[in-house]
A and B are shown apart, each in its own frame.
Chain A
Amino acid sequence: KAGVTQTPRYLIKTRGQQVTLSCSPISGHRSVSWYQQTPGQGLQFLFEYFSETQRNKGNFPGRFSGRQFSNSRSEMNVSTLELGDSALYLCASKRMAGGGNEQFFGPGTRLTVL
């Protein structure tokens, strides 16, 4: 069974640009969550999507947004990039209904903002 996949794995952008990251959850998983990981702040929750609806949101500015498609695949977007947005962005999926509580993480997208 394929795990959570994220594309691209690495990305370099400049300040002011915008970026879109993609996540494909494990087949049958309907919840997708996004996290930002930095050396200073650690792992921080961005948002969770379930059935194409955002149902939890972390404390990030509105420049961070996301969406989920009918096949449960998810994208997150960051607009007007800042240097501080450089981080590893992790996606995690969860089965929900009838499944366990485990969240499975993808390998992440390493975003560097210059």
Chain B
Amino acid sequence: GESVGLHLPTLSVQEGDNSIINCAYSNSASDYFIWYKQESGKGPQFIIDIRSNMDKRQGQRVTVLLNKTVKHLSLQIAATQPGDSAVYFCAENSGSGNTGKLIFGQGTTLQVKP
């Protein structure tokens, strides 16, 4: 069945360093991927998305890389700040993002040390 997984449950980084959060997916039909950030007591917050016809997309301090050959997705956060501390989820959609059905990974907790 479909599954989206992350490699590490917890990632601890020093403030100012770059963070890389990884995700593997299994559905070859996936064509739209999203990264969400969830802070304690809040719902997931959209960070950045990427379609399968791209291999890289950049936002403000964040970059998502997609490697379809090995079905791997990563989120890079530049100059990590204490406010980046949260749980990060990758999610997959096989309807080009036109439906609301997302398959989520288990999440990586990012801890930023001051």
Contacts and interface: CB of A to CB of B under 8 A. Distances in A.
Interface residues of A, number: 26
Contacts of B89: 42-43
Interface of B: 32, 34, 36, 41-46, 49, 89, 91, 93, 96-107
Interface in A39-54: 42-45, 48, 50
The 8 closest A-B pairs by CB, nearest first: A101-B97, A105-B43, A33-B100, A48-B100, A43-B104, A56-B101, A105-B44, A31-B100
Nearest to B91: A43
A73 to B, nearest CB: 15
B99 A56 contact: yes
Given A35-B104, A55-B99, A105-B45, 17 more contacts: A4-B43, A31-B99, A31-B100, A32-B100, A33-B101, A42-B107, A43-B44, A43-B102, A43-B107, A45-B101, A45-B103, A48-B100, A56-B100, A56-B101, A58-B101, A90-B44, A92-B100
Contacts of A48: 99-101
Given A31-B100, A32-B100, A107 B42 contact: yes
Nearest to B5: A42
A108 B101 contact: no
Contact of B100 (A42, A43, A94, A108): A94
A101 B49 CA distance: 9
